[in-house]
Amino acid sequence: MENLNLTDTFLEFKELKNIDRPTMMSVLEDVFRNILAKKYGSADNFDIIVNIDKGDFEIWRNRKVVADEDFTDPNTQIPLSEAKKIDADYEIGEEVSDEVKFQDFGRRAILSIRQNLTARILDLEKNNLYAKYKDRIGEIVTGEVYQVWKKEILVLDDDGNELILPKSEQIPTDHFRKGDTIRAVVIKVEMKNNTPVIILSRTSPVFLERLFELEVPEIFDGLITIKKIVRVPGERAKVAVESYDERVDPVGACVGMKGSRIHGIVRELRNENIDVINYTTNTQLYIQRALSPAKISSIKINEEAKRAEIYLKPSEVSLAIGKGGLNIKLASQLTGYEIDVYREPGGEDEEDVNLEEFSDEIEEWIIDELKAIGCDTAKSVLSLSVSDLVKRTDLEEETIKEVINILKAEFE
């Protein structure tokens, strides 16, 4: 009965766990040899035959026939008189093989084997899982949401392995329920308390890059290269692409006919706005493209300070800055230049007044805060609502109202 219980143990692991046959055989033999060594002092003279498919095994002990007076080691030797009882033809120097019955081990030894076997195979499975996902860092995996908690989501892959999607790696508008199918990229694999922990992400730029590879064959084939990706998850992303084939339009290939290719990516990212930009080594042109959809009048670049002064028509300023300042922030990250936005002098702003003129009535840090969002003149501030100014700056509503009253008084 104990033999049956033990064979059931490793049969169960063979069926449930993804362990190859040679490894399983090696683990089983190693566990048995350890227990034999404890019982007999050495396991070198034992043959262990395991049949995983049938779930049975045999253990044979090989002993050398010696003269009765020379008999000293009952594990490796057998007296001639005892060998003759097995077969009368045995002679000194020959080898006798006899089967070791499992019942002879005793109940405690059998329990120990079962515990060792379970522990070894579990460790093996953990190491296999760690190695498998360590090689998959940066790959997209698809799984099923198994449990939703406040700080993270537990995801099961196709083999039933547990993966973790932390709240910090979820798009702010992500809402998943148990049973939902989820796609994410593997960003980290680590061992905690001898257990592999696989961390997924949907906010990483790598996730967006892999989605482009799936949707755009030219990227997967290497005809188009993604030079850089910057994103604010769920809000906006900018992707710089370059083609190695003059006949291939990188932006057109990524967007697809009527947006067919990029539409699937946008939907996966919860309607995140994606700007695909043609990469160039021409800094001015690159910054100009990065600030799309705004049209720039002129640019002054300071290479040493890595700063760019952008001059635009008043109607283009809000486009360049973008909702919540996202467009200019991402353009700056994409190009590597700090971008300062200025309204083009002249034209409709001839009667406008520079904010610096109000330094005796408005504190300098407040003026700097307004200039940081592209409002460097009185009219540029007055063209925005109080709520817009509150959102875009770190200023209090009362402070903004006071500023607006001071600026209005100038024109009245």
Q: What is the pLDDT along the chain (412 residues), one digit of tens a residue?
A: 344 455 555 556 555 555 666 777 777 788 888 888 888 888 888 888 877 666 667 888 899 999 988 888 888 898 988 888 888 888 888 998 888 876 677 777 777 777 887 788 788 888 889 999 999 999 999 999 999 999 999 999 998 899 999 999 999 999 999 999 999 999 999 999 889 999 999 999 999 999 999 999 999 999 999 999 999 999 999 999 999 888 899 999 999 998 999 999 999 999 999 999 999 999 999 999 999 888 898 899 999 999 999 998 877 888 888 888 899 999 999 999 999 988 876 544 446 778 887 887 888 889 888 888 888 888 888 888 888 888 888 888 999 999 999 888 877 6
How confident is the model over 379-395, as pLDDT tens digits?
888 888 888 888 888 88
How confident is the model over 54-88, as pLDDT tens digits?
666 788 889 999 998 888 888 889 898 888 888 88
Say what the pLDDT of residue 163 is. 97
How confident is the model over 21-31, as pLDDT tens digits?
677 777 778 88
Task: Spell out the alpha helix ranges (H) of 144-234.
Answer: 205-215, 217-220
How confident is the model over 253-266, as pLDDT tens digits?
999 998 999 999 99
CA-CA distances (angstroms) from residue 298 to 284, 286, 341, 345?
Answer: 9, 13, 11, 11
Say what the pLDDT of residue 197 is. 96
The answer to pTM > 0.85 is no
Other beta carbons less than 10 A from residue 284's beta carbon: 14
Say what the pLDDT of residue 1 is. 37
Say what the pLDDT of residue 309 is. 92
Q: Name 270's Cβ contacts closer than 8 Å, sequence gap at least 6.
A: 171, 173, 174, 234
What DSSP character marks residue 228?
E
Say what the pLDDT of residue 2 is. 45
Query: Could you tell me which of 112, 321, 190, 165 has the C-alpha nearest to residue 329?
Result: 321
Q: How many residues does the chain have?
A: 412
Say what the pLDDT of residue 13 is. 57
Other beta carbons less than 10 A from residue 42's beta carbon: 12
Q: Is 65 helix (H, G, I), strand (E, B) or coil?
A: strand
Other beta carbons less than 10 A from residue 258's beta carbon: 7
Say what the pLDDT of residue 10 is. 57
